[in-house]
């Protein structure tokens, strides 16, 4: 999976979790709140573990630039990371 796809998955999980948490507060549905919390946590875990510079390993969260701001290497958002 590419770095861009990990980023999209992380954002989608966090947004859907946030929406479910918000709806559970307004509609008073505790099960939706629990599911929303799980989705939000899953998005955060993916962000922390997968959205990193493939060269130096630094978090590139919230940064969609062409180069890593820590090591200066070019980030290829559409290339699968090395294992």
pLDDT tens track for 47-63: 989 888 888 888 887 66
Mean pLDDT, rounded, for 1-6: 88
- pTM, whole model, 2 decimals? 0.81
Residue 11 C-alpha from the chain's centroid: 5
pLDDT tens track for 14-50: 999 999 988 888 887 778 888 999 999 999 999 989 8
Give yes or no for residue 83 having a pLDDT over 60. no
Q: What is the pLDDT of residue 37?
A: 92
Question: Residue 48: which of 18, 15, 1, 7 has the closest Cα?
Answer: 7
**Do residues 34 and 17 touch, judged by C-beta distance below 8 A?**
no
Q: What is the pLDDT of residue 82?
A: 64
Q: What is the pLDDT of residue 24?
A: 85
């Amino acid at each position: 999976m590419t770095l861009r796809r990990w980023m999209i998955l992380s954002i989608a999980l966090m947004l859907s979790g946030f929406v479910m948490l918000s709806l559970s507060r307004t509609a008073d549905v505790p099960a939706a709140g629990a599911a929303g919390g799980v989705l939000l946590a899953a998005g955060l875990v993916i962000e922390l573990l997968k959205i990193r510079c493939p060269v130096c390993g630094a978090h590139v969260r919230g940064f969609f630039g062409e180069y890593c701001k820590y090591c200066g290497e070019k980030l290829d958002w559409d290339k699968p990371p090395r294992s």
